[in-house]
C-alpha cells in the first residue's frame, strides 16, 4: 500500500504535495524491485473499506491499550495537541492487515507491539462474531537491516522522520551527499576497524551498513579493512553505498517523470485491492449487523434509485 502521508502532517498537507509524494512513493517501490504484476500496489486512501474496518475494530479495543503503545507515547511527547489520527493509527494498521486476511507481515522490531494489537483484535473479533480473520504473524529479519542505527547517534535507530537529515541515508541522496554523510558519521578515537557493538557502536553501525549492502559478514569486512583506519574505511563504505543506490535513484527520477504510467499502476492495483477488500468488508458487516444486512441495504438503495 502507498501511504506517503505522515500522521502529524496529514490534515495540513497541501493536496498537490500529497499527490507528488504518492507518486514518488509508488516510483520508489517499483524502482526498488516491487513487481506490480505479482504484487498489488495501490493507494490506501482510495479503498474506503480500510477506514470502515478501522471503525469496527475501534469498538473492540480500549483507549488505555492504545495509549500504552510505545510509538504513540514517543510521538505524542513532542506534540502540544495530539490528533485523534495519531491515537488510532495502530487500529488502522490492524485494519490494513486484517482486511486482506494477511497471514504474515514483514516488520521492523519497533512494530512488534502493533502486530500484537492486530493479533488481539483478530482474536477478539473471531471470538465474538465467529471465525473471520487468520491470526497474522510477524516476519522480523535477524539480518543487519535490523541493526542499522543513526549516523549521528549510533545508539538510536536510523529514522526517516528524524529532524536531522545527516542522521540517515536517503535513497534519493545524491552521491556527494551520501559521501558527506558517511564521512561525518559518528565513530570514536580508535583508528582500527573492529566490530564491537557495546564498545564501538559508531564503527559497528558502519560495518552493519556495509554488511547489508554486500551480504558479507562483519568478520569478513573487518579482515578486508585490517590495513585501513576508520577515515579510510568510511570512503570505502561510501563507494559501496553510492554504487548500490545510484541506479535505484536514477530509476526513481525516471519514473517520476511518467506520472500517467504510475497512475495506471495505482489504478489497476486499486481495482484489485477493492475487490478483495469488498469481499472481506461485506463478510465483516454481515457478521456484525446480521446476515444479509448488506444485501438489504443494497436492495433499499437500488429501490431508491429506481424511484
Q: Which residues are catalytic?
A: 75, 157, 160
User: Cβ neighbours of residue 100 under 8 Å, at least 6 residues apart?
Assistant: 273, 276, 277, 280
| Residue that has been written with the C-alpha cell 553510492 in this structure | 242
Contact predicate 139/107, CB 8 Å: yes
Residue 2 dihedral angles phi and psi, to the nearest 5°: -90, 110
**C-alpha distances in Å from residue 41, one per residue of 33, 88, 98, 220, 293:** 12, 24, 17, 38, 31
CA of residue 65 relative to chain centroid, distance: 22
**C-alpha distances in Å from residue 71, one per residue of 59, 115, 154, 235:** 21, 13, 20, 35
**Closest among 178, 101, 183 to 135, alpha carbons compared:** 101
Give the per-residue SS3 of 214-239.
Answer: HCCCHHHHHHHCCCCCHHHHHHHHHH
Contact predicate 205/182, CB 8 Å: no
DSSP assignment string, 255-277? HHT-HHHHHHHHHHHHHHHHHHH
DSSP β-bridge partners for residue 2: 43
User: Within 13 A of 127's CA, how many CA atoms are on the CB side?
Assistant: 7
Residue 104 dihedral angles phi and psi, to the nearest 5°: -140, 135
Amino acid at each position: 500500500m502507498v501511504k506517503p502521508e505522515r500522521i502529524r502532517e496529514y490534515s495540513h498537507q497541501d493536496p498537490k504535495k500529497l499527490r507528488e509524494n504518492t507518486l514518488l512513493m509508488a516510483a520508489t517501490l517499483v524502482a526498488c524491485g516491487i513487481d506490480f504484476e505479482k504484487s498489488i500496489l495501490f493507494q490506501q486512501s482510495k479503498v474506503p473499506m480500510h477506514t470502515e474496518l478501522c471503525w469496527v475494530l475501534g469498538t473492540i479495543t480500549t483507549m488505555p491499550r492504545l495509549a500504552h503503545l510505545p510509538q504513540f507515547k514517543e510521538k505524542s511527547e513532542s506534540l502540544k495537541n495530539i490528533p485523534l489520527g495519531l491515537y488510532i493509527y495502530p487500529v488502522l494498521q490492524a485494519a490494513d492487515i486484517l482486511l486482506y486476511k494477511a497471514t504474515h507481515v514483514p516488520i521492523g522490531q519497533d512494530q512488534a507491539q502493533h502486530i500484537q494489537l492486530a493479533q488481539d483484535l483478530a482474536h477478539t473479533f473471531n471470538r465474538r462474531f465467529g471465525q473471520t480473520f487468520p491470526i497474522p504473524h510477524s516476519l522480523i529479519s535477524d539480518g543487519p537491516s535490523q541493526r542499522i542505527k543513526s549516523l549521528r547517534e549510533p545508539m538510536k535507530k536510523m529514522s526517516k522522520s528524524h529532524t536531522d537529515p545527516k542522521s540517515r541515508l536517503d535513497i534519493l541522496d545524491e552521491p556527494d551527499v551520501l559521501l558527506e554523510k558517511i564521512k561525518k558519521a559518528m565513530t570514536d578515537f580508535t583508528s582500527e576497524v573492529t566490530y564491537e557493538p557495546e564498545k564501538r557502536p559508531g564503527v559497528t553501525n558502519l560495518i552493519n551498513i556495509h554488511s547489508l549492502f554486500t551480504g558479507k559478514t562483519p568478520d569478513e569486512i573487518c579482515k578486508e579493512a585490517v590495513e585501513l583506519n576508520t577515515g579510510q574505511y568510511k570512503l570505502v563504505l561510501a563507494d559501496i553505498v553510492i554504487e548500490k543506490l545510484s541506479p535505484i535513484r536514477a530509476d526513481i527520477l525516471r519514473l517520476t517523470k511518467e506520472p500517467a504510467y504510475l497512475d495506471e499502476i495505482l489504478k489497476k492495483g486499486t481495482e484489485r485491492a477493492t475487490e478483495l477488500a469488498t469481499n472481506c468488508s461485506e463478510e465483516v458487516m454481515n457478521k456484525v449487523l446480521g446476515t444479509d444486512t448488506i444485501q438489504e441495504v443494497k436492495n433499499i438503495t437500488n429501490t431508491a434509485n429506481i424511484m
